[in-house]
Amino acid sequence: MLKKTFRVPDMHCTACVMRLEGLEDDLPGVKRVKASYQKGQMEVEYDEKLLSEAQIAAAVKRLGYTLQSA
């Protein structure tokens, strides 16, 4: 398992947090997602054998957000 923190500068409310944390259910290999709109960041714990950082970024983009390395 790998734990990474990403910046999500366009997250601005609790609804954004809930949408991003929903990736936990949508992406195979994701164990946990913890997002904070106050900090503008999202922490993802995932199995790097099943999922790449690029796949996480693509899923975040489909939700309408920008993912940046922290």
User: What residue segments make up the domains of the chain, in order of their start?
Assistant: 2-69
Q: How far apart are CA 16 and CA 22, in angstroms?
A: 10
Three-state DSSP class for 54? Answer: helix
- pLDDT-based confidence at residue 69 (cuts at 50, 70, 90): confident
Mean pLDDT of the chain, nearest integer: 95
Q: What are 16-42's pLDDT values in tens digits?
A: 999 999 999 989 999 999 999 999 999
Check whether 70 has a pLDDT greater than 80. Answer: no
Q: Supply the pTM of this predicted model.
A: 0.89
Identify the architecture of domain 2-69 in CATH. Answer: 2-Layer Sandwich (3.30)
List, in sequence order, the alpha helices (H) in the chain. 14-21, 23-26, 53-62
Three-state DSSP class for 66? Answer: coil
Task: Please give the pLDDT value at position 23.
Answer: 94
